[in-house]
Amino acid sequence: MSKSTRRQVVAALIAAAASLAGCTKGDKGSGAAAPVSEASKGQDPVLATLGAAQKAEHALLLSFETYATATQRDDPSFSVLYRALARSCEVRLEALTEAIVAKGGAVPESPASASASTLAGDLQKAIADVGDLSSNLYPELRSNAVKAKDTAAVQVLAYGVQVLPEMESLLQAGAEGLASGAPPSVQTYYVCPTCGHVTTTLDFDECPYCYTMARDFEAIS
């Protein structure tokens, strides 16, 4: 998917979340015919917001898993990076899914699984996808949750706002290394089991974002 197509998809997700949110305030006319149970599904703007984040994290997770498998044999340093990033997405996916279930919402369907192309192509696509979530989708979704004054949703969305830029930096460093003929060597990444913070050094006592103890981080190598 091209960067601009991806942008359109993200914009559509935001619009869908916003229109679901809008329904609730609404327009007595348009929703009047819907059965109560169906109408109530659209009544919580926070559920729509959490659902959009859940779907986006799930799509990223599937991409990273695909790329990790594709690079496993010939580019193990990238494979371990992708596995660490996949785990980071999975942590937030689980938290978002729990938040949706706790609110009595329906868990979104799984997105289609990704396909791999070349190492450089996959890296560029991953950078574009993560960049869109980081600069467009997540800030928008978090502000929806802030407007709705839902502190639990704000917190789980804040994890994405905080962690996605560091994921983008790791991918960017990998792409720059590849382009300059000095790809990263295989190393260990540490992933926070609460927010998905990804780091190469445990030089802190607690996660800077969610205060999980450093000793509880998961090592991926």
**Residues engaged in binding Zn ion (CB under 5 A):** 192, 194-195, 197, 207, 209-210, 212
Nearer to Zn ion by C-beta: 125 or 142?
A: 142
Q: How far is the CB of 211 from Zn ion (least distance, A)?
A: 7
In whole angstroms, the minimum distance from the beta carbon of 213 to Zn ion comes to 10
CB nearer to Zn ion: pick between 133 and 210: 210
Contact residues for 24 (Cβ-Cβ < 8 A; gap 6+): 42, 43, 44, 45
Count H helices, E strands: the chain?
A: 8, 3
Instruction: Return the number of the residue (175 or 192) whose C-beta is nearest Zn ion.
Output: 192
Of 166, 143, 170, 163, give the one whose Cα is nearest residue 209.
163
Provide CB contacts within 8 A for 187, sequence distance 6+.
Answer: 77, 80, 200, 221
Nearest distance from residue 200's CB to Zn ion, in Å? 15
Nearest CB to Zn ion, comparing residues 64 and 209: 209
Q: Least distance from C-beta 121 to Zn ion, angstroms?
A: 31
**Would you say 48 and 99 are in contact if contact means Cβ atoms under 8 Å apart?**
no
Nearer to Zn ion, 66 or 212 (CB): 212
Write the single-letter amino acid at 3.
Answer: K
The residue assigned the tokens 């193990």 is: 76
Shortest separation between residue 160's beta carbon and Zn ion, angstroms: 12
